[in-house]
A and B are shown apart, each in its own frame.
Chain A
Amino acid sequence: MSKKLYITSLLALAMLAGCKKDLDTTSDPSLYSTSNYPTTINDLQSTLAPCYSNLRDQNLLGFNLMPKALSNATHTANSAYNGDVSWNEMANTNLSVTNSYSSGAYTSYFVGVKNCNVVLAAADLYMEKFGKAQEKATVDLIRGQAYFLRAYYYFQLECLFGESYITTAGGGDKMGMAIYNGVPADLASTQVARSTVRQTWDFIENDLKQAATLLKGKIWSGDERGRVSEWAAKGLLGKAYVFTQDWANARTTLLDVIQNSGKTLMPFTKYADAFDGNSANEFNEESLFELNVDPDARGNDYGIYGGKAYNSTTINGLVWSAWALGADGTEGGAQPLGYGNEVVHDKNVTRFGYKIGYYNLVNNPAYTGSNPTQNNPRQIMDPAYRAQALLVRTNKTADPRLFVNTVQPWIDQVKPDGVTVYPASKPNFYAGQVNTFGFSFRKYSPVNYNVNDPSTLKAGANGPADAWNQYLLRMADVYLLYAEACKGAGDNGTALDYINRVKRRAYDLPLTAASAVDYPSLSSATSATGDPVLGNNPLYYERWAELFNEGGWWYDVCRWRIGASEAAYFGTALNLTGTIQWNDSKSYTWPIPLAEINSNSKIKQNPGY
């Protein structure tokens, strides 16, 4: 009996095991197959989203590119932290081929290019297999955004890694970038040589023209405000023309933007509060293309990093956060509103025309005698100096943009917990060092909350997070580009006019009326008194001052080839020993990363590396 039972059950097992049918194709049940996706417009929108979200990659605007790479390379910031070799190399403007930040930027900008190529392929597949004819308009808007972003990514790549800019002296036949006009389908098509600089710019300009056509007339509003428009495309196209010294096209294109985009310069009152996370001032009348950033890491412990949730933030402010006076009322006990690794390089303070020198601490006459706090410090800024410093602001003896861009110790105030007001402070590593300014950043930096705790700004927000959007193209830039194009084409009058409009806004004056602060000529003295390059070049100075800490100055330094004088001006940096090692034959281009050299048989390295 039991034997029968055993045999029966074994037979049953054998039947159960059976002989499974062969599987012809298999695919991961947790992923969408390339042959069957996207099937809806929403799916297609999902493929477009990474073209934008990639901008917040750690290697790009999410973390590394601005505070660690460009702010060091331009000496906008001074890094107290010297524990990261790649970071120090940036300040030294002398990179190795393995530099993390140049390699990272190269990697992630190309990921952006790939993401855009995926969208263009997905849009074709969608329209071929699933889309309805009446959806073509929506799909074209998606295509237009993808073309724009592909151009944007190539624009940055060409500026950072291209062998040369195009000038009257040539440069178009030098090495540009490897161009991918589609997603590579097999291994052989991943070995791509560098196109020439001219071909690369042609590709960028062509994409931007297509973007402008596809996006023509579309006005984004409401929840879609952050998307790319026709005018962003034309603005960037004009910038590409300026960067390649195609003055004629630049003038036409930029003038079109100035006259027809409906965009202008925002008033100074808004301008003074448009860079530190006031969301009422975001996507304003001056903004052409802007990266939306929310002060909420949505549970990721480390902002843009982590495995928990997608979010829409960046964490640049950790590095260059403002400083609050210590709770004990001392500069030695000063607390950063983030990591506080960087402050504004002191040389920038004087370049903005701040001429009253350093301050001393004196005993606080109002000190109660015990329990020193930030409101009851033992020592304070010398009141005489303080009065002078306030006069600088009232009388605008220094460029008012200094105070838009920075936080001044003792004069300005910060809120480390979002509520409590503290006097701003020198960083603790400058405490006791008299010959230092110790200004910290206001633009793109936390001033009203601790970047580690954004819940003080937005209830429920958690994880370190920046609060401010990043302007990727705004009208002040367009005005100055237009001025540059006019100057290049010999129209100095128009050039001067547009430079002055930008300056007038900074001094809170009407844009178009002549004013006392106007530059009389294109070689008039600027606030940067004694600065051999910027001191008598309003165009250069205005681009530097107006777009301070927005990541673009490096491109200007390189295309104008003023690197050596910049290095001489700043001298050194906290994270360096000795002077900045600028090298004209190398420093203007970043190296093609070793990993690319090792994997692409057709790639060639830039000279000097």
Chain B
Amino acid sequence: MYRKLLLKNVMLGFFLLLSHLVLAQSITVTGKVTDEKGNPLPGVTIALKGTAKGTNSDANGGYSISASSNDVLVFTTIGFNRIEEPVGSRISINVQLKEDQRQLNDVVVVGYGTQRRRDLTGSVGSVKGDVFKNQPITNPTEALQGRVAGVDIIKSSGAPDATPTIIIRGLASLNQPNPLYIVDGVRVPDGNNINPQDIATIDVLKDASSAAIYGAAAAGGVIVITTKKGTGVGTVPAINFNARYGITTPKLVKLLNKNDFIRLENIINPSYFQNTDGTPKAGIDTLADTDWTKALYRNAYEQNYNLSVAGSSPVVNYLFSGFYNSQKGIYIKSYSNIGGARINTDYKLSKWLKIGEQLAISQRRTSPPVGSEAQLHNAPFRTLPVIPVMDRFGKYGVVPNGYGQLSQFAGSNPVGSANYANAQNARNNLQSNVYADITLPYGFNFRANFSYNYYLENQDYFQDAFTIGKISVGSNSLNKYFIESTQFLSNYVLSWNHSYGKHNINAIAGYEQIQNKYNNLNASETAIGLPGYSFIQTSNSNLAISGKNDANGLIKSKFARVNYNFNSRYYLSGSIRQDANFVVFGPNKQKGVFPAASAGWNISEEPFFKKLLPVFTTFKLRGSYGELGNSNIGPYLFNSSYQQFQATNGIASGGQNFSPNGPFTIANSINAIPNPNLHWETIRETNLGIDGEALNGRLYFTAEVYNKNTVDMLYNIKLPLSTGFTAPYITNIGKVNSKGIDLMVGFRGNSSSAFGYDISATAGFNRNKVTSLAGLATDAIYDGYNYYSIGDPGFNMMPNQTLTITQAGSPFGSFYGYKVLGIFQTDAEAAVQKAGSGVARAGDLHFEDLNKDGVINDADRQIIGNPNPKLVYGINARFNFKGFDAALLFNGVAGVDIFNGVKAYEQYPFSDGNTTSQVFGNSLLGNNGVTDQPRLGIKNADGSFTLDPNKNFTSVNSYFVESGSYLKLKNLQIGYTFSSKLLQTVKIKNARVFIMGNNLFTITKYSGLDPELGSAASAQGYSGVTTRGVDAVSQYPQTRIYSAGVDINF
């Protein structure tokens, strides 16, 4: 059907071509285009109004075009106001273009088309590539931080290949979707591999009406990336080279040193380092004094090089670029380097046919932390300062004997463990797209896109055998895997632009099909012959191989949209999309329909408004409603299948034999209860907005209010343990509401003055609430642990106690535990409380006895904090004066709580490990009285010490909940651009040098390392919405970066 349509259109195109061969009588007009200062402007498009004919200005701003006397020349170029000049009798027309101050004239890329910002009726935030070009980022998502109202970007890890979290307009789902990335008109699996320096603009489709054209994949918002193109017909190719180098420093916790550690042990375990009479044991002075944090972390660097060549001719425009970014990690042995290249070309083969392609490749090579130390901690609390990194024989240090149960220390020597494991990971990406754009008669246009994405990841991980203290790996092993995934996308869009009188119509209809294939192999072999990344089998080797090849992935979509406006004053728009997803949704519910509608009113065009408020050059009201789908769950979850049995400990129980060393029978069992009705969840959103400009465009603002409702939320129902199914039952239950206000306001200086500035602020207020969780037993989800090692809920400071609750009537992942009313000042005062084992004493936390039963237990837990920020904001300021420029980017959040899980480890010794000097501030420790920190425990009559009978540190309570509001100077950049004259001699157009600081300072009351937190591990398997704002020990520490760089144009 679509194939036929295409053929028909191609034929039509030929007729169109023939019909235009009749030529009009013409003269040649020449002239020069300059800017306001008289500098020549190359690359300006000069078109004959109402025709497709045109040319571009050359390097000196000159142009030449054939026209007839009743033609009108239209001069346009990005960043300048459009000028129209009737030819009349003139043969020479010189024009001076004024810089365009009006943001509303920008072209915004929307789904399957473009619109001028002034014509938008939905909510779209835009960021230009120039502003983040030199930030130390390798990921376009990070570029949006602080720049778009309502877009919350969280960068909580300093890992060299860390990707930030992005939440647009608050949480909407337990399976909070990532945004959909559209690059140059085609959907790509993610945006992580695009060189930020190749990006011309990023448009964020925030509301449902703008995103609904992307249907079931758009619930997380849509990020539309447009890459750069060659410009400037007739000029020499523009060559840009830039480079930067930065020092990365980690933000770390400092553990107790040897003396302080022994001082603490002498209180809580007096027999370890002291004899019964209190004298120190022999040999203490020979013990090591290791700073394990220092042993594991270091300063590192980030460097980036980028070269691009761009140019244009009447037929072809092109951009070639290449980049290389190298980051050494702050954790020993870790690094991540990425290099890539891009070719963008467009060929204008005829007046009616344009074809082109975008081709981008990249490869990232990473040395990830692996082995038993793969999980990083911002401080390795389970270490002892008295263990040397290396002993005097050059072997990895172990715990000294003779110090009581301390000598039973069962933790690792993390440096040793890390050094016995090596890995290399490579991720290769190809993103390609070819298109044909055919202009048809009667305002029709047909465009076909064919896109192929290829991803190949492989990893080699060698674990050497070792024994250090109580930790040992008996034999070496090698694991190698590859993952190959491909996406083949094709879409066909027929559009129609038509105006009659003051009525303007733009309509599109299209079909899109996405085929995904996945192929992987994961192989392990133990006891390999030689250390390294090659399999060499020995007679002791065991093999394990898994892998799958799944070519079922298929999404088929049909969509249509109509935009109508009357006189650019009144706007109406409607769209609809149907998506069919055959592997994610159950057989009873494979297809979903997603409609949207919106309207706008350019009130500033009304005569009464112009009279009433002439100060506004633009003022627009708009409103929209739309529905979006979220299908952010894995494939085939609607099925129940037989698979190899995994007991709670993994594959080791996946087989059994029935005699000593007898043959094995593979163990297979059913893994789930089927749900044939599983389907997407739907987000319904209304949006009302105002866009305006005043003072000739110097003041600009947008204000929006939205209301989002999620229905049929995808919910992992935790089945009763008694069912024997440990995997959750995934179904559509529950509702969420998220409402808020997005504001953006900016003010900029007059472009004609020497001192230029542009200051803008964005703010997104949001409030989310789960309105219904019609679960079966308790309508609540408990999640999050104060993990030391992720996945081990029993071995941490608050063993087996969940940190958050998600329930109807509360925000996602609210902190849930005992509410602390204060610290008991006297034993008498404390005697009322029974929590943990025994009666409370002075220095213990006073918990609220919610049910007044005299005992503090699970029934007394309540909501003690909200991890979802009420406000996310950013401030951007850019200044320039002569050659100097400066840019500041602040981002911040307000009205948010953090569960400072690390604080428990900082004020209380973890298991057989260490803590920090904060412990000495605890109540009644040593010579302390009651302080603002609770007591550690109680000294018994026999000299022994009982730790934390009141569960001050070992229960989930509001002592650990702190305000997480902060304002951070995310990026400060100061540059100087050398004048052209000086550099002309060496053929350099201009050169800019800059220095930069990233993450320079944070204003906050938060007592932890950094309040910019993502989500902690979810034991329930959610994507993070139930564990936001948990400051956990297990995270890659954050970093500061100080850089310098140059940016040269040839």
Contacts and interface: CB of A to CB of B under 8 A. Distances in A.
Contacts of B641: 27-28, 31-34
Contact of A59 (B474, B648, B660, B940): B648
Given A301-B474, A429-B408, A52 B656 contact: yes
B539 interface: yes
A201 to B, nearest CB: 17
A521 interface: no
A3 B353 contact: yes
A223 B800 contact: no
A292 B662 CA distance: 9
Interface string B349-382: 1100101000000000000000000000000000
B544 interface: yes
14 contacts: A11-B3, A22-B582, A29-B550, A53-B654, A58-B648, A80-B408, A84-B794, A183-B670, A191-B720, A192-B722, A305-B649, A428-B401, A431-B402, A600-B722
B651 A306 contact: yes
A15 interface: yes
Interface string A573-584: 000011001000
A594 B802 CA distance: 11
A486 interface: no
A600 B724 CA distance: 13
Contacts of B717: 187, 599
B658 A292 contact: yes
A23 B669 contact: no
B583 interface: yes
Contacts of B407: 428-429
A9 B875 CA distance: 49
Interface residues of A, number: 141
Contact of A178 (B467, B543, B582, B722): B722
Given A47-B668, A81-B410, A223-B657, A596 B720 contact: yes
Interface in B618-663: 635-636, 639-645, 647-663
Interface in B889-931: 911-912
A50 B725 CA distance: 13
Nearest to A119: B669
Interface string A23-58: 111111111111001100001011111101110111
Interface stretch (A373-381, A397-405, A458-466): A458-466
Interface stretch (B319-327, B774-782, B841-849): B774-782
Contact of A57 (B642, B649, B911): B649
Nearest to A24: B587
B940 to A, nearest CB: 7
Contacts of B473: 301
Contact of B524 (A58, A178, A294, A299): A299
B809 to A, nearest CB: 17
B647 to A, nearest CB: 4
A157 to B, nearest CB: 9
B673 A114 contact: no
B2 interface: yes
Contacts of B488: 17
A19 interface: yes
B648 A312 contact: no
B649 A28 contact: no
Of the listed residues B488, B583, B661, B944, the one surrounded by the most CB atoms of chain A closer than 10 A to its CB is B661
A309 to B, nearest CB: 5
Interface string A118-130: 1000000000000
Interface of A: 2-3, 6-7, 10-11, 13-15, 17-20, 22-34, 37-38, 43, 45-50, 52-54, 56-59, 62-63, 80-86, 96-100, 103-104, 106-108, 110-115, 117-118, 177-178, 180, 183-188, 190-192, 220, 222-227, 279, 282-283, 292, 294, 296-301, 303-313, 332-333, 339-341, 428-429, 431, 452-453, 455, 458-460, 462-464, 469, 577-578, 581, 593-601, 603
A24 to B, nearest CB: 7
B475 A110 contact: no
Given A47-B669, A191-B777, A224-B659, A308 B799 contact: no
B516 to A, nearest CB: 12
B669 A108 contact: no
Contacts of A313: 652
Contacts of B450: 10, 13-14, 17
B587, B665, B720, most chain A CB atoms within 10 A: B720
Contact of B542 (A223, A462, A581): A462
Interface string B145-158: 00000000000000
Contacts of A301: 463, 473-474, 477
Interface of B: 1-3, 6-7, 10, 349-350, 353, 355, 401-402, 404-405, 407-408, 410, 434, 436, 448, 450, 463, 467, 470, 472-475, 477, 488, 490, 492, 511, 513, 515, 524-527, 539-544, 547-550, 552, 554, 556, 580, 582-583, 587, 590, 635-636, 639-645, 647-671, 673-674, 717-726, 729, 731, 776-778, 780, 782, 793-795, 799-801, 837, 858, 911-912, 940, 944, 946, 954
Nearest to A340: B408
Nearest to A60: B647
A32 B642 contact: yes
A463 to B, nearest CB: 6
A310 B202 CA distance: 49
B408 A310 contact: no
B640 A34 contact: yes
A307 B515 CA distance: 31
Contact of B794 (A86, A227, A303, A603): A86
B842 to A, nearest CB: 20
A56 B724 CA distance: 16
Contacts of A58: 647-649
Given A29-B552, A292-B660, A57 B720 contact: no
B721 A601 contact: no
Given A299-B544, A598-B778, A603-B722, A115 B645 contact: yes
A84 B797 CA distance: 10
A308 B526 contact: yes
Contacts of B722: 106, 110, 177-178, 180, 192, 596, 600, 603
Contacts of A37: 642, 668
Nearest to B548: A30
Given A23-B552, A30-B550, A84-B911, 9 more contacts: A34-B674, A46-B666, A85-B954, A185-B673, A192-B720, A282-B660, A298-B542, A299-B525, A596-B721
Nearest to A34: B640
Contacts of B353: 3, 7
Contacts of A177: 722
Instruction: Give the 4 A-B CB pairs with smallest separation, nearest first.
Output: A114-B724, A310-B655, A299-B542, A226-B658
A73 B774 CA distance: 40
Contacts of A191: 720, 776-777
B1035 to A, nearest CB: 22
A111 B653 CA distance: 12
B954 A452 contact: no
Contacts of A459: 540
A434 to B, nearest CB: 13
B587 to A, nearest CB: 5
Nearest to B587: A25
Contacts of B587: 24-25
A10 B731 contact: no
A154 to B, nearest CB: 11
Contact of A46 (B350, B552, B659, B668): B668
B776 A49 contact: no
B650 A226 contact: no
A525 to B, nearest CB: 35
A50 B526 contact: no
Given A28-B635, A599-B718, A53 B656 contact: yes
A94 to B, nearest CB: 8
A81 B717 CA distance: 36
A338 to B, nearest CB: 9
B409 to A, nearest CB: 9
